[in-house]
Amino acid sequence: SQQGEEDPQALSIQEGENATMNCSYKTSINNLQWYRQNSGRGLVHLILIRSNEREKHSGRLRVTLDTSKKSSSLLITASRAADTASYFCATDAQGGGADGLTFGKGTHLIIQP
Amino acid sequence: SQTIHQWPATLVQPVGSPLSLECTVEGTSNPNLYWYRQAAGRGLQLLFYSVGIGQISSEVPQNLSASRPQDRQFILSSKKLLLSDSGFYLCAWYRDRALAGGYTFGSGTRLTVV
């Protein structure tokens, strides 16, 4: 079942601008992860933030996590055309076994040159 | 380094025909293996996962089955495909949830049932 819900479903911005995507989830988590999917390809892991962390950076990516609101955001700064892709959040549920991550439906990001 | 291979990349099959998709992992041992399906414009739906040889857990009762005959091999099968089996199938592996690397996905198989 879907737990993460990304918002917005689609986002179109100009190259160089910042892109912000949000994710909400329902249950307690061990960690939350963000993935990128280029059209017709597999998903690529971007960043993982643990439940006891509030913010994490990786290059042009900044992820925040608010466990009290059960939400996360992914910020891509200084966007490039190559950032055009779908972005998914995925939650690793607390107490879960090996049954893996639960993915949201994704945000489709288009960077206009 | 760890790599994951998934094939074929695309497949067009008639309704009622059998299916076999294969996924293999290199560079690691005893991985947790997963099959996901992604409908057009949608998120990922977990189909099966495996924590070891011969150990398969199903998340969604359906027309599909999975097998893990070897430590690093995961196979998705069907005896008779339905139109509703069309979609993008992704294999993934995850060694340890405590690691920061997340899942590693294969490149996917686009299945069209006609």
Half-sphere exposure at residue A52, Cβ-oriented, CA atoms within 13 angstroms: 0
Chain B nearest CA to A10, separation (Å): 11
Nearest to A105 among B42, B90, B92 (CB): B42
Concatenating the DSSP letter of every residue in chain B gives --EEEEE-SEEEE-TT--EEEEEEEES-SS-EEEEEEE-TT--EEEEEEEEETTEEEESS-SS-EEEEEETTEEEEEESS--GGG-EEEEEEEES-TTSTT--EE---EEEEE-
Nearest CA in chain A to B100: A48
Bridge-based pairing state of the strands A107-112 and A10-14: parallel
pLDDT at A62: 98
The token duo for A35 is: 């993935």
Residues of A with CB below 8 A from B51's CB? 98
Cβ of A98 within 8 Å of Cβ of B106? The answer is: no
Are residues A92 and B97, on separate chains, in Cβ contact within 8 Å?
yes
Quick: pLDDT tens for A36-94. 999 989 999 999 999 999 999 999 999 999 999 999 999 999 999 999 999 999 998 87
User: Looking at CA atoms only, how far is residue A69 from chain B in angstroms?
Assistant: 22
Cβ-based burial of A40 (10 A; exposed 0-12, middle 13-18, buried ≥19): exposed
Amino acid A2: pLDDT: 45
Chain B: closest CA distance from residue A98 (Å) = 7
How do the pLDDT tens digits run along chain B, 114 residues long? 778 999 999 999 999 999 999 999 998 888 899 999 998 777 888 999 998 999 999 887 678 999 999 999 999 999 999 999 999 999 999 876 556 568 899 999 999 999
